[in-house]
Amino acid sequence: MSYGGYGGGYGTPPPSGGYGAPPASGGYGAHPPSGGYGATPPSYGAQRGPGGFNAPPPAGPPPGADPQLWNWFAAVDADRSGSISVFELEKALVNGDWTPFDLDTVKLLMSIFDTDRSGTITFNEFAGLWKYIKDWQNVFRHFDRDRSGSVDSGELQEALRQFGFNLSPPLLALVEKKYDVFKATGVAGPGQREPGISFDRFVRCCVVIKQLSESFQRLDTDRDGWIQINYDQFMSTVLSLP
């Protein structure tokens, strides 16, 4: 089984401290560093943004908590349980065109930040999720060069290249088909206005490619771009991914 033969083997790891790299190895609670490319392009504010959380109602924070961040948490915690379920998070997250987040993306985010594996996220875990989404907004803005509110084929290729993942043209086409609702089904998703990969799917796409690449690299001990594994190793690798 080979990976990424196109363009010189699998992509080099995203540079430490470089902008736009997906979360660093060793903990997906990490996030792309702010600054650098992450600065919002001057004209972007007049266009549809990448998305994020719905506006919260005012609420009083507990002692020591950031008031704004607590307001967001309280707004998402609809049942006032003190933690957020995947369904509460799904209702809270929207793209820049107000379409809801893809449920698979929400589940991926939950798996990243539910560090105690309780099935919900607490306020402290939510704080990491908040920062993560805000940083990915900057990444998305940078690569959405035409300010369309979605990432097209060329923009996706540039993003993955800068992250260090040199996918072959057939693999890129497969990624687009998987994450672009138009290309996958021939019709737009709910509320989607044009072709391309929306913010939520862009995040999931980049995180999944990084996770798969890292899994391959752990097996490719001699770094030649080829691995030989048995059935148990393959299934173990696949099933260990979120």
CB 193 within 8 A of CB 94: no
- Tell the CATH superfamily of the 58-239 domain: EF-hand (1.10.238.10)
Mean of all residue pLDDT scores within the chain? 77
- Containing 53, the helix (H) or strand (E) segment is strand 51-53
| pLDDT for 16 | 36
| pLDDT for 67 | 87
Residue 104, pLDDT above cutoff 50? yes
| pLDDT for 43 | 30
**Residues 87/150/164/25 CA torsion (nearest 10 deg):** -20
Task: Please report the sign of the dihedral spanned by the C-alpha atoms of residue 146, residue 56, residue 179, residue 203.
Answer: positive
Tell me what the mean pLDDT of segment 184-198 comes to.
63
pLDDT band at 24 (very low <50, low <70, confident <90, very high): very low
As a whole number of angstroms, the distance between CA 33 and CA 31 comes to 6
Residue 9, pLDDT above cutoff 70? no
Cα end-to-end span (Å), the chain? 22
Q: pTM of the entire structure?
A: 0.71
The set of long-range contacts for 114-120, using a CB threshold of 8 Å and a minimum separation of 24, is: 115/29, 118/83, 119/85, 119/86, 120/81, 120/83, 120/84, 120/85, 120/86
Residues 6 or more apart whose Cβ sits within 8 Å of residue 115:
29, 125
